Amino acid sequence: MIELHNVSLSYQRDAAALSNINLKIEKGEFVFLTGVSGAGKSTLLKLLYGGLNPSRGQVLIDGQNITRLSSSQIPFVRRKVGVVFQDFKLLPGRTVLENVALTLEVLGWGKRDIGKKVYHILKQMGLEHKINTTPLRLSGGEQQRVALARALVNDPKIVLADEPTGNLDENSKESVLNILKEANIKGSTVVIASHDKRLTENSHRRMIVLDKGRIVEDSNGRK
Amino acid sequence: MAGNKAGKRPKLTREGFGGQVAYFFNRAIANIRQNILINLLTIGTISLAILIFSLLLLLYVNLEKVTDKWSERVQVTAYFEGELPPRELKVLIGRIQSLEGTGKITYISKSEALKRFRERLRGQDALLEEVSADILPASLEIQLKKEFRGDDALSYYTAALRRVPGISEIQYGEDWVQRFNSFMDFMRLLGLFVGGFLVLAVVFIVANTIKITIYSRKDELELLGLVGATRLFIKIPFLIEGILQGAAGAILAIALLFGLYYGFIHNAGSLTNFNPLENGIVFLPLTYMAYVFIGGILLGFLGSLASLKKFINV
Ligand SMILES: Nc1ncnc2c1ncn2[C@@H]1O[C@H](COP(=O)(O)OP(=O)(O)O)[C@@H](O)[C@H]1O
Ligand SMILES: [Mg+2]
């Protein structure tokens, strides 16, 4: 589902944010990407949805080499990838419902279907009473769940989440993690970038550890 | 790990073409509503720009009308010896009429010439007593067709006229005609310059205003790209918004211009001794209004298109 071959990326000369990454994530996997702050986790996620292009190497998503795609083909890759951004990127001028609906509007879905589907997923996340609220009036945990809903509403093949539990209390962390696990059970391949050791260590999931832009450990978690 | 995806995904219909169009329009309207102030600013800028431009256009239309009238005075007078018998006169007129560029021909007999002369010198009767009809020659006053009133065409025409047998002399107030013609050339050039400069300034200002509106929504543009919107999908609502702004701006400008025009024709007469209506001052013809309207739409559309280029390279 996700393959990286000899991928390197430098924002500036002589300072590689990622060096020579080789990685394969199979369909249906649930993977933690960890490492200290600045290790390159966010950078790696950006490569997976075409937010950045590698300086060297190839990135394959669902069998497509996205480093070779033209910019007009990138949107169609992004439709397969639901991203939960670290800063949420919710539009403050639109309601919760409208924010989540964006993902489906882009696909050209009809209004009724969008309404049903969005309501359904927001209900699953316990946000059905906040449908007509704007994001700025929500708590951090609620905003995070709206961001999750927007990423998951079209049942994407891949889900990428960047620090989805950062700044959340224990209860919210738990519920966010459960939502992502559920998405995985429904068939999505999930990659979570997090520097939160407690979150990743007891999970018994595959864990890829980055340090200074290199993979230093890749364990399947079943010790 | 089990990859059992998408099995229970509900069947969902895609929006048809009509639905898509409706979606884009609704999106544009919602955007305008959400950013009402900045939209009013854009519409205001567009309408101010169009107002200045159409004010110039109105001036031009009316000046052109006035100069059309003036240039009717560009005429050539052909003199001949003595008084011709009617038959010969007819032949002469026929010959002149066959010259390319000849408009209306008026025959001024000796007595007619004397009458005019007297009118001009009224109050100086002492001078007139010496003058009899014999001194003044008969003549033909020839008006020229519109396209023959320019300098070059005029000298070409007079050269041809001189070759017509029977004509002893021709006169055409060269000086006056030349000065008038070069004045008009200057005015047209000036109009072209000012108009051209104005168009550039307007496009620049409007594009920048729209750029500000779009800049204020760059997060939205970015996010749409990230959730997989195609460039066209992102652009269309903004382009529709631009078109609506342009149309609103143009309508507002024409309404304001009409207000100015109305105020002018109803007040100028009482404030000055210039009566606009008697002097044939008109409002923009319908076709020009249509041009202004289409121009406004284009302005909004192109302004949005140009500004979007800067932000969308997803
Ligand atoms: N836009 C950027 N421009 C320049 N350097 C960047 C940029 N984004 C990240 N970096 C650098 O790249 C390295 C990896 O950053 P990042 O991927 O954000 O790490 P992480 O998400 O693991 O904390 C860091 O050294 C960071 O300073
Ligand atoms: Mg990060």
Please report, for chain A, the start and end positions of each structural domain, with discontinuous segments joined by +: 1-80+158-166+190-223
Ligand 1 contact, A208 CB (< 6 A): no
User: What are the backbone angles phi and psi of residue A187, rounded to the nearest 5°?
Assistant: 125, -10
Indicate yes or no: CB of B15 within 8 angstroms of CB of A155.
no
In a shared domain, residues B103 and B248: no
CA-based nearest residue to A135, from A176, A175, A94: A94
In a shared domain, residues B65 and B187: yes
| Residues of B in Cβ contact (< 8 Å) with A117 | 10, 12
In a 13 Å sphere around the CA of B179, the CA atoms on its Cβ side amount to 4
With b meaning 16 or more CB within 10 Å and e meaning fewer, what string describes A53-80? ebeebebbbeeeebbebeeeebbebbbb
In a 13 Å sphere around the CA of B180, the CA atoms on its Cβ side amount to 20
Q: What Cα–Cα distance (Å) separates residue A20 from each residue in A5, A9, A167, B257?
A: 8, 9, 31, 67
Ligand 1 contact, A37 CB (< 6 A): yes
The answer, yes or no, to whether residue A99 has pLDDT greater than 90, is: yes
Report yes or no on B44 lying in a domain: yes
**pLDDT for B244-273, tens place per residue?**
999 999 999 999 999 999 888 888 767 766
pLDDT of residue B7: 39
Q: What is the number of CB-based contacts under 8 A between chain A and chain B?
A: 93
**pLDDT for B95-144, tens place per residue?**
888 888 888 888 888 888 888 877 777 766 666 666 666 777 788 888 88
A63 touches chain B (CB under 8 A): no
| Residues of B in Cβ contact (< 8 Å) with A185 | 2
pLDDT of residue B227: 95
Whose Cα sits closest to atom 6 in ligand 1? A11
Report yes or no on B6 lying in a domain: no
Report CA Rg, chain A.
17
Interacting residues of B148 by C-beta distance below 8 A, sequence separation 6+: B100, B101, B154, B157
Say which CATH class A1-80+158-166+190-223 falls into. Answer: alpha beta
| Residues of B in Cβ contact (< 8 Å) with A119 | none
pLDDT of residue A162: 96
In a shared domain, residues B235 and B266: yes
Report yes or no on B140 lying in a domain: yes
Ramachandran sector of residue B132 (left: φ over 0; alpha: ψ -120 to 50; beta: rest):
beta
Could you say which of B171, B194, B228 is where a domain stops? B171
Confidence of residue B5 (pLDDT cuts 50, 70, 90): very low
Taking the C-alpha atoms of residue B170 and residue A219, their distance in angstroms, rounded to an integer, is 109
Report yes or no on B10 lying in a domain: no
Report yes or no on B270 lying in a domain: yes
Ramachandran sector of residue A28 (left: φ over 0; alpha: ψ -120 to 50; beta: rest):
left
Q: What Cα–Cα distance (Å) separates residue A158 from each residue in A69, A154, A186, A192, B271?
A: 18, 11, 11, 11, 77
pLDDT of residue B65: 78
With b meaning 16 or more CB within 10 Å and e meaning fewer, what string describes A174-186? ebbbebbeebbee
Q: What percent of chain B is modeled with pLDDT above 90?
A: 17
In a shared domain, residues B242 and B284: yes
Indicate the SS3 state at residue A126: coil
Residue B314 CA, chain-centre distance (Å), reads 42
Question: Which tokens is B192 given?
Answer: 């072209």
The answer, yes or no, to whether residue B41 has pLDDT greater than 80, is: yes
Q: Which among B1, B14, B313 has the least Cβ separation from residue A30?
A: B1
In a shared domain, residues B31 and B85: no
Report yes or no on B195 lying in a domain: yes
In a shared domain, residues B144 and B244: no
Taking the C-alpha atoms of residue A145 and residue A164, their distance in angstroms, rounded to an integer, is 9
Residue B73 CA, chain-centre distance (Å), reads 23
pLDDT of residue B195: 81
**pLDDT for B213-226, tens place per residue?**
888 888 888 999 99
Indicate the SS3 state at residue B124: coil
Q: Is B206 exposed, middle or buried (0-12, 13-18, 19+ CB in 10 A)?
A: buried
The answer, yes or no, to whether residue B78 has pLDDT greater than 50, is: yes
DSSP at A29: -
Could you say which of B135, B150, B171 is where a domain stops? B171
Taking the C-alpha atoms of residue B171 and residue B77, their distance in angstroms, rounded to an integer, is 5
pLDDT of residue B158: 82
Domain containing residue B133: CATH number: 3.30.70.3040
| Gap from B234 CA to chain A (nearest CA, Å) | 9
Contact A180, A192 (CB under 8 A): yes
Report yes or no on B1 lying in a domain: no
Ligand 1 contact, A156 CB (< 6 A): no
pLDDT of residue B32: 87
CA-based nearest residue to A90, from B25, B222, B27: B222
The answer, yes or no, to whether residue A59 has pLDDT greater than 50, is: yes
Look-up: residue for tokens 């010969």?
B88
Average pLDDT over residues B230-244: 91
Question: Which tokens is B67 given?
Answer: 């100069």
In a shared domain, residues B191 and B283: yes
**pLDDT for A160-189, tens place per residue?**
999 999 888 888 888 899 999 999 999 999
DSSP at B52: H
In a shared domain, residues B104 and B28: no
**C-alpha A43 to ligand 1 mean position (Å):** 6
Report yes or no on B42 lying in a domain: yes
Write the secondary structure of A199-217 as one string of H (helix), E (strand) and C (coil). Answer: HHHCCCCEEEEEECCEEEE
In a shared domain, residues B126 and B223: no
pLDDT of residue B8: 41
In a shared domain, residues B109 and B54: no
Q: Considering only A134-138, A184-188, B49-53, which range has the smallest mean pLDDT? A: B49-53
Chain B, 200-219: which have a CB under 8 Å from a chain A CB? 219
pLDDT of residue B291: 93
In a shared domain, residues B220 and B97: no
Alpha helices (H) along B72-124:
86-97, 110-120
pLDDT of residue A133: 96
Domain holding B33, by residue range, is: 17-69+183-311
Ligand 1 contact, A166 CB (< 6 A): no
The answer, yes or no, to whether residue A193 has pLDDT greater than 50, is: yes
In a shared domain, residues B201 and B299: yes
ipTM of this complex prediction, to 2 decimal places: 0.92
Taking the C-alpha atoms of residue B307 and residue B312, their distance in angstroms, rounded to an integer, is 9
Average pLDDT over residues B12-41: 81
Pocket test of ligand 1: the residue of A14, A43, A215 to mutate, having most ligand atoms within 8 Å of its CB, is: A43
Interacting residues of A36 by C-beta distance below 8 A, sequence separation 6+: A195, A211
Total number of domains constituting chain B: 2
